[in-house]
């Protein structure tokens, strides 16, 4: 089974997925890493692991529609079992979503539906929550609104800054993202409307 990962930045989630495929924990292989940003550190991580990369530099396209058409063309050619957004800083367009329904995953650094969108960790600190965390969910047309697969809580310490909270959440992100990808590829996820159940329960 092949996995395509979409990135824009530093790629620590990509690295976790690379490690988990190499160790055999995730029963699949990353066939392509696509970045919308030519200088993403994630590209170097992929190259080091001998994974093919493709830069779709958003700025070099004449608009969102043309960019999405090209993304769709590439994705159709790859025909991945799962597409993982890993720090990919764009909203995926309708056409791509409808072609890969329930095959696109995202990781978000809050316990959704709290704090969707950008700067989730900052939003959590400013709100004053005592527990935050991360969420792996299917991508739908909304902003961080798709059916939730896994969540992990992280306690917010009084001394936490955006940086320290982000770091604590990131460690959990790496765990639950790999776990969710494994479950999807093992066909253990049953989706009914908004609810995602795991065959045999979550281990
Ligand atoms: C993570 O916090 C992820 O939850 C969010 O963007 C960040 C990406 O980090 N969507 P990285 O590029 O995987 O290191």
User: Which is the catalytic residue, given 102, 108, 137, 174?
Assistant: 108
Judge whether 13 is annotated as a binding position.
yes
Task: Verify whether residue 108 is a known catalytic residue.
Answer: yes
Handedness of CA 120, 123, 127, 129 (dihedral sign): positive
**Are the folds of 1-100 and 107-203 the same?**
yes
Instruction: Work out the average pLDDT over 149-163.
Output: 98
Question: From atom 8 of ligand 1, which residue's Cα is the shortest distance away?
Answer: 87
Query: Which atom of ligand 1 has the smallest separation from the CA of 121?
Result: 2
* Contact (Cβ atoms closer than 8 angstroms) between residue 107 and residue 85: yes
- Please give the model's pTM, rounded to 2 decimal places: 0.97
Q: What is the pLDDT of residues 51-105, one digit of tens each?
A: 999 999 999 999 999 999 999 999 999 999 999 999 999 999 999 999 999 999 9
Question: From atom 14 of ligand 1, which residue's Cα is the shortest distance away?
Answer: 12
Q: 109 CA to middle of ligand 1, Å?
A: 7
For the chain, give the percent of residues with pLDDT over 90: 98
pLDDT, position 49: 98
Judge whether 26 is annotated as a binding position.
no
Judge whether 50 is annotated as a binding position.
no
Query: Which atom of ligand 1 has the smallest separation from the CA of 16?
Result: 13
φ, ψ for residue 187, nearest 5 deg: 55, 40
Q: 125 CA to middle of ligand 1, Å?
A: 17
User: What CATH homologous superfamily does 107-203 map to?
Assistant: Formyl transferase, N-terminal domain (3.40.50.170)
pLDDT, position 102: 94
User: What CATH homologous superfamily does 1-100 map to?
Assistant: Formyl transferase, N-terminal domain (3.40.50.170)
What tokens appear for 127 in the block?
A: 């709100």
CA distances from 7 to 54, 153, 187, 200 (A): 10, 24, 24, 32
Residue 177, Cβ density class (10 Å: 0-12 exposed, 13-18 middle, ≥19 buried): buried
Q: Is 167 helix (H, G, I), strand (E, B) or coil?
A: helix
pLDDT, position 203: 79
Q: 171 CA to middle of ligand 1, Å?
A: 11
Handedness of CA 198, 182, 81, 43 (dihedral sign): positive
Q: What is the residue extent of each domain of the chain?
A: 1-100, 107-203
Q: What is the pLDDT of residues 2-42, one digit of tens each?
A: 999 999 999 999 999 999 999 999 999 999 999 999 999 99
pLDDT at 143 over 90: yes
Question: Which residues does a 6 A CB cutoff place in the pocket of ligand 1?
Answer: 9-13, 86-87, 107-109, 170, 173
pLDDT, position 202: 83
Question: From atom 12 of ligand 1, which residue's Cα is the shortest distance away?
Answer: 11
Question: From atom 5 of ligand 1, which residue's Cα is the shortest distance away?
Answer: 87
pLDDT band at 124 (very low <50, low <70, confident <90, very high): very high
Judge whether 90 is annotated as a binding position.
yes
């Amino acid at each position: 089974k092949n996995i395509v990962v979409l990135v824009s930045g530093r790629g620590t989630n990509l690295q976790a997925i690379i490690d988990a495929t190499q160790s055999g924990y995730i029963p699949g292989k990353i066939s392509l890493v696509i970045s919308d940003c030519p200088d993403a550190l994630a590209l170097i991580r992929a190259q080091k692991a001998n994974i093919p990369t493709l830069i779709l530099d958003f700025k070099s396209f004449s608009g969102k529609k043309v960019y999405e058409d090209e993304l769709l063309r590439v994705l159709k050619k790859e025909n991945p079992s799962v597409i993982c957004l890993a720090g990919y800083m764009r909203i995926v367009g309708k056409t791509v979503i409808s072609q890969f329904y329930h095959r696109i995953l995202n990781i978000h650094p809050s316990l959704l539906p709290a704090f969707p969108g950008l700067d989730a960790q900052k939003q959590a600190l400013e709100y004053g929550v005592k527990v935050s965390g991360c969420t792996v969910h299917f991508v739908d047309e909304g902003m961080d609104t798709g059916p939730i697969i896994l969540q992990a809580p992280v306690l917010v310490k009084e001394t936490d800054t955006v940086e320290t909270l982000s770091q604590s959440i990131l460690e959990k992100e790496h765990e639950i993202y790999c776990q969710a990808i494994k479950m999807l590829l093992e066909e253990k996820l049953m989706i009914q409307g908004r609810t995602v159940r795991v065959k045999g329960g979550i281990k």
